[in-house]
Amino acid sequence: MTHSTPSFTWLLLAALPACSSAASPPTESDPTRAALLELTLPPTPVLPTDVSNHWADDSGAAAFGQRLFFEPGFSGQLLDGDNDGTPEALGRQGEVGKVACAGCHLPDHAFSDSRSVRGQISLGAGWGRRRAPSLLDVAQSKLLTWDGRHDALYNQVFGPIESPVEMNGSRLFAAEQVFALHRAEYERVFGAMPPLDDTTRFPALAGKAFGCANLDEQDRVCRGQPRGVPGDGAEYDGMSSVDQEAVTRVVVNMGKAIGAYERLLTCGQTPFDRWVTGADPNALSAAQIRGANLFVGKGKCSSCHSGPYLSDEKFHNVGLQPAIVATVFLDDNDSGASVGLPSMMADPLNVQGKFSDGDDGRIPTTLDDSLLGAFRTPKLRCVDQRPSFMHTGQMTNLDDVVSFFDHGGNEFGFPGKSELTPLGLVAAERADLVAFLRSLTGPGPSAELRAAR
């Protein structure tokens, strides 16, 4: 939208001190206009098609998925001793049925984890290695998690369900719980379930006889073999291949329902969008306008944080030396996408496998050395609502994040080669960038989507 304010006037206003009044959006002749418009979200954005999930836009599947998202009944024992019944934990050590998706993706905090100590890494059954990412606008991503180890929302659910530090459940137990707790809802969406109450075909996993029984709290891996998962040498492996596939199909469909729900979670239109399109010329302060200019200019932020959701959806090494988080943990030597992407490519549950409803070519065909220590560029909409930042969660305010990138990251202490170089910003410019980032907060999902059904 063309505004009557001349270009040189807008640029002059943008250079004024932070106490100045807001300025009008850039006119068509301003060199920053095109760059800023590339970051703008349309008033009614269209969700991208997910060919991997036939039920991606099915309202019944989304309603069922919302129920599953808040359901803790798929989880096994809480293993770490820090599960002590305090508000920072989800229960006490040894208890079962305490961890839901919503336990580490809190709806009122941008679907990220503000519960665990210091809001950094998450405490589920045990302590995770990385910060639980926000789920807002997750539908815009085709490669998921910090390291790309999943390529679809339907197969991502297997990660937390079968992780000894997240839900500590199992594939077989999850399917049996859907049958016991949600059979009617499941069958309304996906059709008849297999007879999971037939214990001659599907061994019953009750009490604590599933998942991991003993966690190595230092390395955060299971001591021994989890039960009810492929390779357990027990209940799961003892089933026929036909019944193993039936169990996996039930959990895949859980993932497709949860994915349909998660596609509805969005940050929404922000003051920045209203300002840059001219819908509200007074939506931003002068400091936020200066920050917007820096974001697409001297700050070089938009080279990775590009497009309407401010992420190129690629993997970058930013030279982050790990620091202590959650009082005692240090996640050093994390190889990131150089491990995650090969794992995804070898996963029989990926979009090229039999459980996918389509393949749109999202899996990369080649990998290179730049992926060592690289992590996916996070989206920045509603970023101000997150309790911590970076994949380690070691930074707890945006000022530290901006300073980190301004200084060009760390020199040593991380795998791979950093892509960062110093930016040479002054203190006022760093403050303006932070002010701009705070203009990227929208209304978020409706109250109906933030609550258990």
Pull the structure tokens for residue 161.
């369900």
What's the pLDDT at 27?
A: 57
Pull the structure tokens for residue 66.
């919302």
Taken as a whole, the chain contains a residue count of 453
Cβ-based neighbours of 366, under 8 Å, separated by 6 or more: none
pLDDT tens digits for range 399-424: 999 999 999 999 999 999 999 999 99
Does the pLDDT at position 8 exceed 90? no
Average pLDDT (68-85) is: 97
Does the pLDDT at position 244 exceed 60? yes
pLDDT tens digits for range 169-211: 999 999 999 999 999 999 999 999 999 999 999 999 978 889 9
Residue 24: pLDDT band with limits 50, 70, 90: low
CA distances from 307 to 8, 80, 121, 310 (A): 26, 40, 28, 5
Three-state DSSP at 319 gives coil
More confident residue, 12 or 129: 129
Residue 4: pLDDT band with limits 50, 70, 90: very low
Residue 17: pLDDT band with limits 50, 70, 90: very low
Does the pLDDT at position 227 exceed 60? yes
Average pLDDT (275-297) is: 95
What's the pLDDT at 43?
A: 84
Does the pLDDT at position 333 exceed 70? yes
Global pTM exceeds 0.85: yes
pLDDT tens digits for range 134-160: 999 999 999 999 999 999 999 999 999
Average pLDDT (116-144) is: 96
Average pLDDT (317-326) is: 96
What's the pLDDT at 208?
A: 84
Ordered structural domains, the chain, with CATH? 7-47+267-336+372-440 (1.10.760.10), 59-262 (1.10.760.10)
Calculate the average pLDDT of the chain.
93
Give Cα 232 to chain centroid, integer Å: 29
Average pLDDT (427-450) is: 97
